[in-house]
Amino acid sequence: YYSKLSCLLSFVRAAEVAGVRPVFLNDGPIPADRLAVMRAVGDIVDLPGVGMRGSYLTGLRLATDGRWSRDDVVWMSEDDYLYRPEALTRLAAAAEGLTDADYFALYGSTPIHPAYGTEPPPQGPRGWRDLPPWTVEEQDWVRIRSTASTFGARVGALADDLGVFRFCMVPHRNMLRDHDTCLVYQGFEPYTYRELVDS
């Protein structure tokens, strides 16, 4: 796909356009060329090889440790995405304009473009309604059911849902179950109790 350096440079460019200073969580050694870019534009948290789950939990805890307001939006980004220059600026505009939204995705499974050909659960949670797009600064935003571990969230919602994120990590040692996490914090029940017991 893309080189990690290309992904990093595209993210840094988007952060600079948006005027934000990123925090990089590095779990283990990082090549010198990438580390130099990170040092020049952001803060670095070095982790001692805690693995995928450990680094993800560290990121969630860092985002919710009280340094930011509950209404602030944090962006959690894996290292294998490419960003357009205006991506984080548009995210900030959406967060300001869509005050009822708690979670945001620049990448995701939309009704028009479902990810991986997955079908949504047949029964939505109580109160779920498919709504038309909201337009913020000429950019359409749609309600989606799922995204990856690259997403934005209001700090308060993320803090309130930390238990959901931890719970969805339980069944698998090598997976984060990001799709299931998105469904659960929105009120879906992606599995029956029998399926959970039998797996």
pLDDT digits 0-9 by tens, 76-125: 999 989 999 999 999 999 999 999 999 999 976 666 666 555 555 556 67
pLDDT, position 13: 98
- 14-28, 137-151, 165-179, range with greatest mean pLDDT: 14-28
pLDDT, position 131: 75
Q: Give dist(CA 123, CA 128) in Å, integer.
A: 9
pLDDT digits 0-9 by tens, 130-167: 777 899 999 889 887 778 889 999 999 999 999 888 88
Mean pLDDT of the chain: 85
Query: Which residues are CB-neighbours of 112 under 8 A, at least 6 positions away?
Result: none
Beta-bridge mates of residue 75: 152
| pLDDT bucket at 196, cuts 50 / 70 / 90 | low
pLDDT, position 1: 63
Q: For residue 188, is pLDDT > 70?
A: yes
The torsion of the CA quartet 49, 51, 57, 59, rounded to 10 degrees, works out to: 60
pLDDT, position 53: 84
The alpha helices in 42-86, defined as continuous H runs, are: 51-63
pLDDT, position 197: 53
CA 197 from centre of chain: 28
pLDDT, position 103: 93
pLDDT, position 76: 95
pLDDT, position 172: 61
Contact 108, 69 (CB under 8 A): no
CA angle 135, 140, 142 (to 5 degrees): 105
